[in-house]
Structure 1
Amino acid sequence: MTAEIKEGRRSFLNLILAGALVVGLGVVVNTIFKFLWPTEEVIGGGGSAGATTLPLAEVPVGGAKTVRHQGKPYVVVRTPSGIHAINAICTHLGCVVYWDAQLKKLACPCHTAFFDLNGTIITGPAPSPLATTTVKIAGDQIIIG
C-alpha cells in the first residue's frame, strides 16, 4: 500500500469520526434542552390566561402533578390538609422542580435545591423562593388561579 492511499484512508476515517462526534453531540445537547425546558406535551395542558382546572382525581392525596398555568409550569400538590400550587421554575437556573413524595419537598434536579409547599427555600443555591398561586377544590375539580 502506498503512502498516498494510506493518507486518503486516514483522512476518510477522520472525517467519519468527526461526523459521528457531531451527531452524538447534537443528541446530547437536544436531550439537555428537553430536560431543562420541557414542552407542553410533557408537562400537561392548560390555558394561557385565567384559571386552569384539572380533575381532582388526577392528584391523589400525597401526590402531585405538573400542569401549565398562564404559560408556566406549576406543581399541584395535594396533602391531607389541603392543596398547593407552586411555580415549578427554580429561581437558581430555571430548571423544572418536581415533588419528591418520599421527602415531602419540592426538589430541583439540577443543583439539589429543596423547597417547602409555600415555595420557601429549605436548602440549595436558589436565590429566592418559588412563587405560589391561589388554588382551591370545587366539587371534583381543582381550580388554579
Structure 2
Amino acid sequence: MTVPFTLVGIDHVVLLVDDMEKALAFYYDVLGCVQGYSYPALGMEQVWVWAGAALIVLWDTTHPGAAHAVPPVAGGRNMDHLCIATSPFAPDALRAHLAAHGIKIDREAVHGGARGVGHSFYIFDPFGNKLEIKGPAEYADGR
C-alpha cells in the first residue's frame, strides 16, 4: 500500500507554557515572530505566532481549557504535538492506510493551522509523541 499523501513540511508545533507574557516576549522580541491569531471561543488560552511560514502555538497551561494538556508530572513534557502538513488526501484512504499499519486514530478534526482550516488526523508515534497529519486548507483562516 502506498502512502496516500505527499509531505509538505511542518505546519505548526504546540508548546505548553505557564507564563504567556514571558513566552510572548521571547517569541516576539528574541526570535522576531509575528503575531498570529487565537481561538478564545474554544475555551483555551492560546496565542499563535508566525515563525516564517509555520506557526508556533503557545498554550497557557494555567488556563482551565488546557487541563487535558498539562503534563502529568511537574517538569514533564512541554510540547503537545507536532503537526505535519501534507498534500490533499482522501480521509477514507488515510484511515485505511493508518489501519493497515496498526496505527490507531486518536481523533479527527477540522481546524486552523499555518495554511488555513483543513482536515486533521491525530495519531501517536511509537514513542508516544502526538502527531497531527494535516491536509491543506479547505478555506482560509484570516491571515
> Which of the five TM-score ranges fits, normalised by the shorter chain?
under 0.3
Answer with 1 or 2: which has the greater Rg: 1
TM-score by length of 1: 0.25
Instruction: Kindly indicate whether structure 1 or structure 2 has the higher relative contact order, using CA contacts under 8 Å at least 6 residues apart.
Output: 2
Greater percentage in helix: 1
TM-score by length of 2: 0.25
Q: Which has the higher strand share?
A: 2
